[in-house]
Structure 1
Amino acid sequence: MSLDPQIAALMQQLHSQPMPPWSEMTPEGLRVGYKMASAENPEPVAEVREHSIPGPGGELSLRIYRPEREGPLPVLVFFHGGGFVMGDLDSHDNLARAFCNALPAVVVAVDYRLAPEHRFPAAVEDAWTATCWVALHAEALGADVSRLIVGGDSAGGNLAAVIAQLACARQGPAIAHQMLLYPVCDTNLERESYRRYGQGYFLETEMMRWMLGHYLGDPQTRDTRVCPLHTPDLRQLPPATLMTAEYDPLREEGEEYAERLRQAGVPVHGHCYPGAIHGFMSFLGMVGLADRAFADTVVAVRTALSGPSSK
């Protein structure tokens, strides 16, 4: 299928402003221009509260969103995307607000440390600390700890998958569901989806090589805290919602991870969106396909929380 027409129009705008080679880019310079499709008028929620907790590298900032619905509610620990180098609480505020209202759930967005100032495993350590804090303070948050979700997009999806694995290996906290939106699952940049879609579709092979180089130093690592796909035993992991995009270099690793989870007996709702690019769900409210994928994700997570199912 060809690119979704609305996405193609956005891509045309993006390509009208050529970027310098990745070898000339700096994390600081890229962060200045990094903006997801945030609404000028953010979707209202009942409450947004800034909070900080002690983290492995100092104070760890969280942003807590509450919907109008009374608790106890599910709680979503949300990790933003941005290749481990970019992104923050503001870049994905639109998605956090939307999930807060639509699930509905208390959403705790995590401002984990970024590379290259803080290389791997800093982001994982922050994600783990935040998840444990949420589990411990769920009642005070008006949340039901038995419905604890970890989720995120791209690099954030990677962190969510890794935290689900760590929680299983460390025997807690109990994760009810993992919501993985076009996640990074591996560091292999030689897959067919990289060859087919690694240039001209927003996320490019050289961009991933640049970001992984900053995050890891050694982009060829197969550490399972970076490559959840390489964890030998995936049994006992929580059910997953795993969404991928047709024109995404990460498509194959995401689909392979979903299949490995199924083979391990983990219920998975997985879907690949034809005509979509990496990161497309951030265009919520601007692109019809993003709206549909978001609605599908919400239904899948709600269904999983109400009882076991596999698709």
Structure 2
Amino acid sequence: MKLFAAYVKRTRHSTWASADRVREIMSRPRHSAAIPHELYQVNHVTGHEVTTDDGTFTVHSLVPATDAPRDTPLDICVYLHGGGYVNGLDDRHWKFVSDIAGAGMKVIVPDYGLAPEHTASSARTLLDRVIGDAADEARDSGHRLCLAGDSAGGGLALGWMLTTGRHDARDPVERIALVSPWLDVSCTTEGLDALVDDDPWLHPDGLRVAGLAWAGADTARGVDIHDPLVSPLAAPDTDLAALPPTAVWTGTRDILHADALALGARMHRTGATVDVHTCDGAVHVHPLTPTPEGKAAREEVIRWLSS
């Protein structure tokens, strides 16, 4: 992990190191990476479009390629990708969702709109449809529905659970897996500043710009940066207590480790079921990294989702 952290610091730290750098990223066209060819060799991959008032979005579905018919009902995982709300799906995400599918699950991956053109409210509308449809499918087939996400996707997953008006979609979600979730777009969680020097990847100066754009407070459908949709740690204890069993994976060389610890402490206090898995010395989203620690954590996440 030390070698990987050094590599990350050389190649990725500049992305989030300054507000100006993130503004530059948001000023140019950005698209999700194409699904890698090798995923088609082990999965049946399909996609369809969902249109809302905010635009048309692609929703991908992966099921493991086995001898069973591809429409055989399976447990379902809706996966929300990270990227600071300003970057789309990349090869790490595709590899991770393929591994989840390989455990015998159907994985649904909405390619939600990015900031600043789209906001959290736009994503919530899309997820109301996507997760609502997944809930109907799971209910009709007698299978389980899980929700998972990494980084910003983890924050979006929890924010949707806490604020959606679609209780018929939310209530069937049986468990949530969060990988290095970003749970406060203002980056003011207690203990976060003390982690800045050890984090080779993220910096609050860059994240705050992305978070402000994602909240879209100055837009017609925007929300305040302390709204639980974008900052789930701002939710009242009563709402956190109502969440289904939740597991969190976090590393100590990640400024968002503070968010993970804060969520775990608050959910424990409310009596909710939560497990926080901490990897000492690990960087942001370590279960998605090509390291021994990442492989072990990735297997934990998948085992927990599919058990």
State the Cα distance separating 1:40 from its structure 2 match. 8.1
State the Cα distance separating 1:201 from its structure 2 match. 1.5
- Helix, strand or coil at the partner of 2:61: strand
Distance of 1:22 and 1:33 partners within structure 2: 21
CA contact (8 A) 2:185 2:212 kept: no
> 1:121-170, CA deviations, whole angstroms, 9 ceiling, x for partnerless residues?
1122222221112223447xxx9564101111011101111233346983
CA contact (8 A) 1:78 1:96 kept: yes
Q: Specify the alignment match of 1:237 in structure 2.
A: 243
CA contact (8 A) 1:154 1:183 kept: yes
Distance of 1:33 and 1:54 partners within structure 2: 18
Query: How has the CA–CA distance of structure 1 residues 76 and 15 changed in structure 2, closer, same or farther, with 3 Å as cutoff?
Result: closer
| Structure 2 length-normalised TM | 0.82
Query: What aligned pairs does 1:10-159 form with structure 2 within 5 A after superposition?
Result: 10-11=7-8, 13-14=10-11, 21-24=18-21, 25-28=23-26, 41-42=38-39, 44-68=41-65, 70=68, 71-88=72-89, 92-102=93-103, 104-138=104-138, 144=141, 146-159=143-156
Q: Which moved more, 1:66-75 or 1:115-124?
A: 66-75
The code of the aligned residue for 2:200 comes to: Y
**Percent identity, aligned pairs only?**
23
Q: Specify the alignment match of 1:291 in structure 2.
A: 295
Distance of 1:20 and 1:265 partners within structure 2: 37
The code of the aligned residue for 1:243 comes to: W
- Structure 1 residue runs without a partner (length 5+): 304-311
- Helix, strand or coil at the partner of 2:288: helix
Establish whether residue 251 from structure 1 lines up as the match of residue 252 from structure 2: no
Query: How has the CA–CA distance of structure 1 residues 32 and 130 changed in structure 2, closer, same or farther, with 3 Å as cutoff?
Result: closer
Distance of 1:34 and 1:243 partners within structure 2: 24
State the Cα distance separating 1:12 from its structure 2 match. 5.0
- Helix, strand or coil at the partner of 1:66: strand
CA contact (8 A) 2:159 2:228 kept: yes
Establish whether residue 274 from structure 1 lines up as the match of residue 271 from structure 2: no
Distance of 1:46 and 1:39 partners within structure 2: 11
The code of the aligned residue for 1:230 comes to: A
CA contact (8 A) 1:168 1:237 kept: no
The code of the aligned residue for 1:128 comes to: D
Distance of 2:152 and 2:138 partners within structure 1: 25
Q: Specify the alignment match of 2:220 in structure 1.
A: none
- Helix, strand or coil at the partner of 1:221: coil
CA contact (8 A) 1:113 1:126 kept: no
Q: Which runs of 4+ in 1 moved over 6 A?
A: 15-20
Distance of 2:40 and 2:293 partners within structure 1: 19
> 1:24-61, CA deviations, whole angstroms, 9 ceiling, x for partnerless residues?
542356776998xx978548423011211233423221
Query: How has the CA–CA distance of structure 1 residues 245 and 19 changed in structure 2, closer, same or farther, with 3 Å as cutoff?
Result: closer
State the Cα distance separating 1:214 from its structure 2 match. 1.8
Greater length-normalized contact order (CA 8 Å, ≥ 6 residues apart) = 2
> 1:171-223, CA deviations, whole angstroms, 9 ceiling, x for partnerless residues?
54411111111111123423454323325520111121121122124597211
Query: How has the CA–CA distance of structure 1 residues 144 and 166 changed in structure 2, closer, same or farther, with 3 Å as cutoff?
Result: farther
Q: Specify the alignment match of 1:307 in structure 2.
A: none
Distance of 1:185 and 1:268 partners within structure 2: 15
The code of the aligned residue for 1:198 comes to: V
Distance of 1:30 and 1:271 partners within structure 2: 36
- What is the number of equivalent residue pairs in this alignment? 293
CA contact (8 A) 2:44 2:62 kept: yes
Please identify which structure carries the higher helix content. Answer: 2
Distance of 1:123 and 1:209 partners within structure 2: 19
- Helix, strand or coil at the partner of 1:92: helix
State the Cα distance separating 1:263 from its structure 2 match. 2.4
| Structure 1 length-normalised TM | 0.81
Query: How has the CA–CA distance of structure 1 residues 113 and 32 changed in structure 2, closer, same or farther, with 3 Å as cutoff?
Result: closer
Q: Specify the alignment match of 1:185 in structure 2.
A: 183
Distance of 1:16 and 1:228 partners within structure 2: 25
